[in-house]
Structure 1
Amino acid sequence: MKLNKTDKITELNKLSDKISLLENRGLHSVTIKEIETLSQNCAAAFKDLSIAKNKHLHRNIVQVYTRVASFLSSWLAEQRNKVTIELLLCLAMQKNNIQEILLLSGFSGNEHLMAMLASDIVDGEKSFANGGLILSLALLNLDQITEEMLQVAISLSDEVKVPLFMGWLNQVSTFTAQGEKNRETVIRHADFLTKVTPDYQMIQCFINAWMLCSYAVFPAKHTLKKYLNQMVRNFLIAEGMSDNGTQYQLNARPKMVVVHERFKPGHAMHRCYAPYIEQLAEYFDLVFIGEKEHIDASYSMAQKTIVLDTNEQSLTDITKIIKAENADIIFYPSLGMSHYTICLANLRLAPVQIMAGGHPATSFSSCIDYIFLFFLEELTSKLVSEKIVTVDNIVFKQEPHPKLKLSTISREYPQGNKFKIAINATSMKINGDFIEACKSISGSAKKKVEYHFFPALTGNAYDSFTRLIENELPGSVVHQSSGYSRFLEALSKCDMSIVPFPFGNTNSTIDALMLHMPVVSMSSAEIAGLTDKAILRTVGLEHCTVVDSVQAYIEKCVQIVNNQAEYEYVHDQVVAIDAKNSLIRKAGEQDDCFSQFARMFALTYDYHLQIQASPARVIDYKNISGARLYRDSL
């Protein structure tokens, strides 16, 4: 429900009244729980109340942010000499909210708070007593903390490091090269987390980090998942949850439970995987499971769909539901977007468990046997914990977005002094190294480069991201999340799309190609770095705009911006491949790639024991496609 101006002012006044009540009681009587609630209330109030979108309320909104920031700062300064683990855990779980409050307030950040926490000035530098130092570590983000302070944090006790690391690992994006370097340092020193047995609230917070580490730059980032998986196992054991214990046996028609994190029409997962999953019904009795917000209950491709309410059902309840199905095989099309799925993936709930690259990253869970990939490079198998199953040279096709409508597109090299570059990627894909590359592109371009970000954000998250991007890349345009048609309209006004590295895009690249935009991407051996290369290879554009190093990426972008002939060459190549027809599945269209996907799953199940006994890390369809299925022998 959209709020009108009066309703919005009412919401702001309610928040102001809550602050007044706390102020009137005095700082000393305010509890940690009340601070947590204030942070949550503020996040809820501003979730859909963006400063940028409500310019007529700019002053009102900033005033409330500033009141909250002022109160929080005064209260936190009072805690310098009484820092507790409870307080640090609260700050870790509310860190992103508190960062946004401080940034969007009249203080424009936390520098004033750092001054309040400093106990003295020595040789012109801030000096912190122990309590003030630890609070500062808890409140500074990866882009702000110095290497020296980070080393101090690493030397602290594990009990104190747990909330500090939680706060840093839950940072969605980094905006500086130093911030990305700090993220690497934190991950490298996170092995102590294997000794932690958390409660479910802490698990939920750390599971965000399980997914977010995938977007880090350094190659060994997924080692964090090893540590977090062990932490999850500690929690599961403490809560009495255990593996199923069902033994593997051949079955002419195995039961497959498909655990969907996201599978509604229009979502990237549905667009990418629906035509493939549909074919699994040829070989398996399908049971779909998913949260009510993220799945439809009416899929004809499944014999049964179980809709979860994770607000009402505990993880123990969900585990019992899955165990009751006595599945022969469990399939996770993606892992990383829901808290409960990552917990489930650390249990053996079926004899055979397989994931796909919906979130293109390895699980590092000993309970996941296989990962299905549409594409791989020679080194990919060394970067994942699972055995890889793949269909060689599969033609990548996806479901059309329900609101996909394209008119005739005419695109020319921009004749003016401005060149608009689109970065149509969610916020977590942005990192300090990528932003440095953008600065280099701007610095070498003969035209004024205007970056257009499409981070899929609204409200306070959008305002905060915009402020941080403007600090690093002045003059950039950040677009708020909108419907698909409006998004395509805004994207079409840009001249080129560049793919963030190292994580890459999938659907966003196809969107840009359908709009006849040149797309530049950088490949790597890891899964997330191969998606765009695979798409561009499918349509014959790999030679055109795929590079393999940061320097080559910068040079390719500059070449297209500066050279009209190069721009027109790439553009003509994009037009020629007709992305809408070559990459989008037509209604009722069947393709060998869909049936091969399903048969590969059936073969993997039937020959599971032999595959697991084999030293081979990659099982390619072309090598086993002639094998006989168990059902055909009956």
Structure 2
Amino acid sequence: MFKFNLTQFERDCLDKQGQAYKDLIALLDHMNTHSGDLPHMEFFNLPPRLNVEKRVNYLLNRIITSVSFLFTSTDSQIEPYLVVQLFTHQRWLALIFGVSVLKNADHLINLFLIKNTPQQIEFKKNKIILILLLYFPDSQFNIPIDQIWLINKEITLCWCFAILSNRHLITEEACTKREKILEFLAKISMEDIKINVKLIPEGILHDVYMHCSYAFTPLKHEVKKLINKIIQTYLQYNNISGTTPVPLKKPHKILVVVEWFTSAHSIYRTHSKSLEGLKDHFEVIGAGFSNKIDKVTIQSFNKFISIPKLSLAKQVQFIKEIIKQEQISILYMPSIGMSPLTIWLSNTRSCIYQIIALGHPATTFSEYIDYVVVEEDFIGNPNLFSEKILQLKSNGMPYRYPSHTNDYLSNTNSFKKSSEVAIAVCSTSMKLNYVFLSTLNKISRHSKKKIHFNFLIGNARNLTHNYIESSIKSIIESDCTVYSSRLYDNYLQCLNDNNIFLNPFPFGNTNGIIDCVIVNKIGICKTGDEVHEHIDEGLFTRLGYPKWTVCKTIDEYIKSAIKLIDIYSDFDTNYHEEVKTKLKDKVINGDVKNLAYLFMSLINSKNDSNK
């Protein structure tokens, strides 16, 4: 078990700064692999009679004090490899400051400024690395990105990727930075600049790739073009080139590379049935990490190959070797972006057909991904995809009920009578943003009834929960409760205590909507051109919710929410039972072989063209 020697770290900050940075990286790396939790600490002189909360705050204050001294007293340049690691883990340093009374490190950045007026900000250029390491999402400074770009392009990219990789961009300051960064990076082309990609934090590129979807700017996915070029350069450095695909041979085999595929994970709920439907026409070979699959989910495959713990480059070579040895016809990735490997695989040719589904609903902008699998009522604007669309019927990817839902399917309260209206917001922290939360404020201001928002956050525990709760409550004006992550049964119990639900935007819900239906709740969603917006509309339509519950604008969303707050009790138990029937008929049950037929049509068309 990793132990962090806080006392030694404090000493190193005084006289061994190189070692102190390594100590800090080790601390932040532990937080990264333990959902933001602090490690066991060894330290001297703990004040007496501190409860758990005060003890944690005390330790955080000591860490912040030492980090403050370390960063402000560093005279020499930090080793480049340490700089990359520090930016890789900047989000956890931001969390340490964010849960403290300081909220950010602006007081430290101010020490490096020469001039700071509303019209101009000027800083010591030799301190640019330290400034950007401390320039957290919640900073109130506005340092022009094009200004730091002219000073050091690699360091600017490090900072941009560090901010975009953060899972908690909730405040107005954080959301504004995300939008500006994505619009700036949309203008950057690897062909036009010379960048040493070895100075770019490779370990967080997949987070940037996925998290850009949570932004509002229409240019948000453009950053993937830059990421793809960076990864292709990494592949070249590792002598990995596109391989000549093996000819299509019977029996046809599909290699399914999964990122997360445990029985409790959403990807298993949404994609396992259609995977199992492939077995009549293909030998379905799964590949993934042994700790991301279990004895239930492994049954979705005819055979499963565990990917060894190697470097990313060697894992790509491992997958390529499987494809060659097994003579794979189709490389299929149900989701892409939750782990680095799938993004790397999407940037090289390994198979005749390389196809993704919408486990994370967005385009790849990769020239090596041929098709994206989408249900016909989820597509949105097809021009937003770089891939060709492999269109399923609306019931062509049936979902699976989560485990332990039978009691809720047969016995739930249709609504809870109270003097206030309890509104559920099912979300991860990534889906929360200042615009959405401000919209909730407008709803509560204009509603005639008293409102209590209940935020059920899927990735909130310990320090991360403290930060998320603090950020939400700094914006939300009405009463609210921010729940930490909990087991599914307990989560459903909390959800059942609400009257209605409101979907987040611009990135909506899929499984969250189904969870609300299971406990007899009706809600409001916002639709749009992006597939991750349009899925909400597709599901609401399948469930037969009133058309006014699907909104195209924020103003419509506010009006519809207020309307639902007033009349939600009109939707009685019989209505919710009808919705559950539609859930079963149009979402849970469906054509499990639709995907197989589409894949076979591709292979048959290829065979016909080769005749």
Does the alignment reach a TM-score above 0.5? Answer: yes
Match of 1:520 in 2: 524
Q: Deviations over 1:440-483 (max 9, x none)?
A: 22222223332222222212222222222122225431111111
Residues 326, 396 of structure 1: alpha-carbon distance in 2 compared, 3 angstrom cutoff: closer
Counterpart contact for 1:391–1:596, Cα < 8 Å: yes
Q: CA deviation at 1:30?
A: 4.0
Task: Map residues 357-436 of structure 1 onto 2, 5 A cutoff.
Answer: 357-376=358-377, 380-394=381-395, 397-407=398-408, 408-412=411-415, 414-416=417-419, 418-436=420-438
Residues 120, 63 of structure 1: alpha-carbon distance in 2 compared, 3 angstrom cutoff: farther
Q: CA deviation at 1:375?
A: 3.1
Q: CA deviation at 1:402?
A: 2.0
Give the partner amino acid of 1:40. Answer: D
Match of 1:32 in 2: 21
Q: Which moved more, 1:60-69 or 1:390-399?
A: 390-399
Give the partner amino acid of 1:19. Answer: F
Any stretches of 5+ residues in structure 1 without a counterpart? 2-10, 614-629
Q: Deviations over 1:538-590 (max 9, x none)?
A: 121151511111111111112222x2xx21234568514242x443589xx99
Give the partner amino acid of 1:214. Answer: S
Percent of aligned pairs with the same amino acid:
22
From 521, 537, 541, the equivalent of 1:533 is 537
Once residues 493 and 590 of structure 2 are traced to their aligned partners in structure 1, the CA distance between those partners, rounded to angstroms, is 34
Give the partner amino acid of 1:99. Answer: A
Q: Deviations over 1:309-357 (max 9, x none)?
A: 3357843444434443321111111111111111011111110111111
From 431, 438, 441, the equivalent of 1:439 is 441
Match of 2:327 in 1: 326
SS of corresponding position for 1:280 = coil
Q: CA deviation at 1:403?
A: 2.4
Residues 469, 15 of structure 1: alpha-carbon distance in 2 compared, 3 angstrom cutoff: farther
Once residues 57 and 90 of structure 1 are traced to their aligned partners in structure 2, the CA distance between those partners, rounded to angstroms, is 30
Q: Deviations over 1:605-634 (max 9, x none)?
A: 3225889x9xxxxxxxxxxxxxxxx9xxxx
Task: Map residues 220-231 of structure 1 onto 2, 5 A cutoff.
Answer: 220-231=219-230
Match of 2:450 in 1: 448
TM-score (norm 2): 0.87
Q: CA deviation at 1:300?
A: 4.0
Task: Map residues 502-521 of structure 1 onto 2, 5 A cutoff.
Answer: 502-521=506-525
TM-score (norm 1): 0.84
Give the partner amino acid of 1:398. Answer: Y
Once residues 70 and 389 of structure 1 are traced to their aligned partners in structure 2, the CA distance between those partners, rounded to angstroms, is 55
Q: CA deviation at 1:169?
A: 1.8
Residues 84, 153 of structure 1: alpha-carbon distance in 2 compared, 3 angstrom cutoff: farther
Counterpart contact for 1:356–1:373, Cα < 8 Å: yes
Residues 49, 578 of structure 1: alpha-carbon distance in 2 compared, 3 angstrom cutoff: farther
Residues 462, 383 of structure 1: alpha-carbon distance in 2 compared, 3 angstrom cutoff: same
Counterpart contact for 1:196–1:231, Cα < 8 Å: no
Task: Map residues 44-443 of structure 1 onto 2, 5 A cutoff.
Answer: 47-48=36-37, 56-79=51-74, 82=77, 85-86=80-81, 88-118=83-113, 128-132=123-127, 134-144=129-139, 146-177=141-172, 179-190=174-185, 191-192=187-188, 194=190, 196=195, 198-199=197-198, 202-249=201-248, 251-296=249-294, 299-310=298-309, 314-315=314-315, 316-376=317-377, 380-394=381-395, 397-407=398-408, 408-412=411-415, 414-416=417-419, 418-443=420-445
Once residues 150 and 311 of structure 1 are traced to their aligned partners in structure 2, the CA distance between those partners, rounded to angstroms, is 36
Residues 459, 123 of structure 1: alpha-carbon distance in 2 compared, 3 angstrom cutoff: closer
Q: CA deviation at 1:238?
A: 1.1
Q: CA deviation at 1:296?
A: 3.2
Q: CA deviation at 1:378?
A: 7.5
Q: CA deviation at 1:235?
A: 0.5
Q: CA deviation at 1:380?
A: 2.1
SS of corresponding position for 2:524 = strand
Residues 140, 278 of structure 1: alpha-carbon distance in 2 compared, 3 angstrom cutoff: same
Counterpart contact for 1:518–1:574, Cα < 8 Å: no
Give the partner amino acid of 1:338. Answer: S
Give the partner amino acid of 1:17. Answer: T
Residues 34, 322 of structure 1: alpha-carbon distance in 2 compared, 3 angstrom cutoff: farther
Q: Which moved more, 1:421-430 or 1:14-23?
A: 14-23
Q: Which moved more, 1:58-67 or 1:387-396?
A: 387-396
The alignment covers a number of residue pairs equal to: 590
Residues 510, 377 of structure 1: alpha-carbon distance in 2 compared, 3 angstrom cutoff: closer
SS of corresponding position for 2:498 = coil
Counterpart contact for 1:176–1:435, Cα < 8 Å: no
SS of corresponding position for 1:372 = strand
Match of 1:16 in 2: 6
SS of corresponding position for 1:365 = coil
